[in-house]
């Protein structure tokens, strides 16, 4: 029997296993969902010739590009084969299109009349994205600065979101502050200063820092924080958010977009300490709930004692996954998600 459900294809990276909760929320929203990630762990040589050639290239020519290209070709074949599960999709949404080859993106586009991308990082950090923007019918970014700086690309505004279909609850408070983020030198001073503040006032700050082998933190930094090379799951991240009294949000220097942490603070009614000054321009900002950190630690203790002020439910619902998706796909009904002018 033919399903009346709308078919949607989502392509995104595997970071933090975000795809597992996206798939759950798509199913809860009634879609026939196909969620695909590039899976390099399944890579294997197609034949003995490739294996021998890679050994020669790596050993005698110090060329690591040969295997990288083989992996890219493997992922491309793997993803295209999975895309072909259906001959047509009502919607295709690509999150972080720079993770996918042009061949994959062109093939996905051929399967739909509604081809959309969302980029949750500063686009200037990943130059490969500029080759991909014009492939899409619409390309959304979470940083107003990108829209203004790259006006020739006709980028559209959107924010991140929180998952409205997520049932696992654990409100047992284990620490005062929680932060999860990738290692970036522009964060280091703020993280270290915040750690000193927490220790001084006998507050527990749990900070999980993810790094790659090419950008390893120095030993003195690793001694202060929980540093890891593997991403924790997004589900584990959400449990840590629930187990914390307050959420810590430390910006990197290269963008001003709002992180997922901001929207988790809205959902779980947690106070947010953030180094992102643009947050005061958003409709959900309230000084009792959000503290903009700028070497003003003398005011932070007073902020922590202020009562949390509930935000109107219609505003909070704007940043749910369901509204976010309807907005990107231009499906009614949705509440408009726009980014304030922060220039």
The region of weakest confidence among 73-87, 107-121, 312-326 is: 73-87
pLDDT band at 105; cut points 50, 70, 90: very high
Q: What is the pLDDT of residue 113?
A: 97
Contact status, residue 136 vs residue 249, Cβ threshold 8 Å: no
What's the mean pLDDT when you consider all of the chain? Answer: 89
Give one word for 295, left, alpha or beta, with left for phi > 0 and alpha for psi -120 to 50: left
Do residues 125 and 99 make contact, with C-beta atoms less than 8 angstroms apart?
Answer: no
Q: Contact, 246 vs 270, CB < 8 A? A: yes
More confident residue, 254 or 321: 321
Better pLDDT: 47 or 327: 327
Predicted local distance difference test score (pLDDT) of residue 75: 80
pLDDT at 66 over 70: no
Q: Is the pLDDT of residue 53 over 60?
A: no
State yes or no: pLDDT of 91 exceeds 90: yes
Confidence (pLDDT) at 221? 84
- The contacts of residue 259 (CB under 8 Å, 6+ apart) are 160, 181, 249, 251, 276
307 confidence band (pLDDT: 50, 70, 90): very high
CA atoms within 13 A on the CB side of 312: 6
Q: Give the range with max mean pLDDT: 9-23, 99-113, 159-173.
A: 99-113
Single pTM value for the model: 0.88
pLDDT tens column, 4-34: 899 999 999 987 788 999 999 999 999 999 9
């Amino acid at each position: 029997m033919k399903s009346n459900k709308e078919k949607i294809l989502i392509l995104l990276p595997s970071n933090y296993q975000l795809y597992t909760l996206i798939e759950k929320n798509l199913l809860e929203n009634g879609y026939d969902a196909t969620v695909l990630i590039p899976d390099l762990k399944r890579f294997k040589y197609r034949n003995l010739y490739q294996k021998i050639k890679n050994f020669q290239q790596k050993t005698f020519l110090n060329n690591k590009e040969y295997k990288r290209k083989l992996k890219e070709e493997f992922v491309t074949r793997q993803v295209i084969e999975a895309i072909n599960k259906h001959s047509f999709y009502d919607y295709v949404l690509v999150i972080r299109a720079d993770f996918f080859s042009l061949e994959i993106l062109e093939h996905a586009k051929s399967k739909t009349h509604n081809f959309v991308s969302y980029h949750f990082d500063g686009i200037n950090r990943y130059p490969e994205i500029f080759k991909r923007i014009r492939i899409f019918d619409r390309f959304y970014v979470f940083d107003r600065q990108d829209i203004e700086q790259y006006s020739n690309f006709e980028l559209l505004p959107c924010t991140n979101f929180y998952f409205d279909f997520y049932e696992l609850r654990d409100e047992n408070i284990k620490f005062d502050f929680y932060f999860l983020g990738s290692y970036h030198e522009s964060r280091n001073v703020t993280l270290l200063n915040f750690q000193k503040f927490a220790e001084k006032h006998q507050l527990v700050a749990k900070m999980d820092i993810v790094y790659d082998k090419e950008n390893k933190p120095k030993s003195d930094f690793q001694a202060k924080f929980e540093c890891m090379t593997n991403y924790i799951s997004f589900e584990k991240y959400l449990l840590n958010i629930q187990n914390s009294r307050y959420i810590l949000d430390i910006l990197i220097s290269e963008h001003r977009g709002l992180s997922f942490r901001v929207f988790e603070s809205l959902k779980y009614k947690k106070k947010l300490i953030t180094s992102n000054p643009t947050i005061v321009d958003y409709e959900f900002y309230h000084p009792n709930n959000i503290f903009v950190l700028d070497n003003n630690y003398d005011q932070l203790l007073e902020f922590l004692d202020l009562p949390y002020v509930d935000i109107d439910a219609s505003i909070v619902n704007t940043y749910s996954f369901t509204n976010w998706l309807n907005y990107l796909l231009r499906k009614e009904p949705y509440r408009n998600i726009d980014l304030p002018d922060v220039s």
